[in-house]
Structure 1
């Protein structure tokens, strides 16, 4: 069994990621896994709420990120990587990027699962990568999901949706920069409940927040960390939603 980096390194890595992108021309966003099921209640007692990052950091990030009046509709977004697809963020869950955990011999989805689940077990044929069991305490809903029986219901979400990133700056990046962003296990990716992820779609905080209110401060702060590190814009409407979260939850 191997030891993987936990996504909790987001804040520490934000500054270094920003410096990697320094000098790159980045004008302005979403992606989901697939599943369809009824929402489940959290188990009795439920997982302990994630510690919040604190209002100071959230307020600092609000002062650092670019804010635009509204999200533009930038043409050209196409995630399809078939013969006729634009494949603008590269092959899904590719290990062939310079993102954190890139070139480690394991696809990005399994990297995130291995770092996010409790009591992780791997297959015998791929003992350092292929996750076959574990438990997810879903940050978005508070639900507890067993990977061995409901693995397809666990999605890997892009905190800053790829479609939104395209509109808010990423359309001007190089393909390599977009592939890195789409596979950034340190800042941008989180294992979550599939139904909540489908409900989120390509929404920014202006129109979607996690149902678990205890996680909302962490969510908006992480969203702002991604925006700051990659010089992606947020909208006035996002700010109007984030500020009350900052006051009530951080």
Structure 2
């Protein structure tokens, strides 16, 4: 069969167009993968100057709000930071975890304890223990502090590998105003989804009671959200920051001055 030169050129042109489309699709896919592995679920929670977007904090379908001492200030995190008092640390020698109530209570009265609430919120492909609508047996998630995928399997090993981090550590909160809160308010602080993120267990251990001046996530793409979340928690519960902590927060927010505060509403 004889093929004309014009037909041949049309076929070549269509072939080049097809390869061009495939190349663009491949680049887009790689870009999406890069975004997911470096920012993941928290990238969608980073608001811009146009206003706040919903952070991965609260799902009204099955969670009930925990009422803080004060509403989270609206507006930028930098503006909210300027409204937080700057003081030195109070004594830590009288700190006791029990001052914040028994760990992982059902503070929001939705029938599930806080740890399982946060696992359900932060994990994907969640599987519950047979016969339970609360107790998470397995799932996977994009760990925010390291920026990598992790699997969770219920059990002692899984509980060590995946922990629920207090964004503002309770010991830090104790030294910066929480001693003046009531027992009920401290219990809410310890169980408020705004202050809780599923995270790598060893990294959570390394963080300890560190504030922004001594510890920040290795995954830099989460730092703006992380610092904004700390500011939001401290503003909501009337806690203060140290001078060094405020300086560290301002340095982080310097790269994202339009970062808004984070709210559970």
Q: What TM-score results when the alignment is normalised by the length of structure 2?
A: 0.68
Q: Structure 2 residue aligned with 1:242, among 231, 249, 259?
A: 249
Structure 1: distance between partners of 2:131 and 2:105: 20
* Unaligned segments of structure 2, at least 5 residues: 1-32, 50-74, 258-265
> What is residue 151 of structure 2 aligned with on the other side?
146
CA contact (8 A) 1:214 1:249 kept: no
> What is residue 208 of structure 2 aligned with on the other side?
201
CA contact (8 A) 1:170 1:178 kept: yes
CA contact (8 A) 1:53 1:221 kept: no
Pair 1:169-2:177 in alignment: yes
CA contact (8 A) 2:38 2:148 kept: no
The Cα shift of 1:92 comes to 0.4
Q: Which consecutive aligned stretches of 4+ in structure 1 deviate over 6 angstroms post-superposition?
A: none
CA contact (8 A) 2:38 2:221 kept: no
Aligned positions of 1:149-160 closer than 5 A:
151-152=158-159, 153-160=161-168
> What is residue 79 of structure 2 aligned with on the other side?
60
The Cα shift of 1:248 comes to 2.4
Structure 1: distance between partners of 2:237 and 2:103: 19
> What is residue 113 of structure 1 aligned with on the other side?
119
Q: Structure 2 residue aligned with 1:130, among 135, 148, 153?
A: 135
- Greater relative CO (CA pairs within 8 A, separation 6+): 1
Pair 1:47-2:37 in alignment: yes
Could you give the per-residue CA deviations for residues 151-170 of structure 1, whole angstroms, max 9, x where no partner exists? 32111011111011111111
Name the larger-Rg structure: 2
Could you give the per-residue CA deviations for residues 19-75 of structure 1, whole angstroms, max 9, x where no partner exists? xxxxxxxxxxxxxxxxxxxxxxxxx9562513233486121111121111x222244
Q: What TM-score results when the alignment is normalised by the length of structure 1?
A: 0.72
CA contact (8 A) 2:224 2:256 kept: yes
> What is residue 238 of structure 2 aligned with on the other side?
231
> What is residue 36 of structure 1 aligned with on the other side?
none
> What is residue 179 of structure 1 aligned with on the other side?
187
Could you give the per-residue CA deviations for residues 165-193 of structure 1, whole angstroms, max 9, x where no partner exists? 111111111111111111111x1111111
**Cα–Cα, structure 1 residues 238 and 53, in superposed 2: closer, same or farther, change >3 Å?**
farther
**Cα–Cα, structure 1 residues 198 and 74, in superposed 2: closer, same or farther, change >3 Å?**
closer
Structure 1: distance between partners of 2:187 and 2:139: 28
Structure 1: distance between partners of 2:104 and 2:249: 29
Secondary structure at the residue paired with 2:197? strand
**Cα–Cα, structure 1 residues 147 and 154, in superposed 2: closer, same or farther, change >3 Å?**
same
* Unaligned segments of structure 1, at least 5 residues: 1-43, 80-86
How many corresponding residue pairs?
192
> What is residue 82 of structure 1 aligned with on the other side?
none
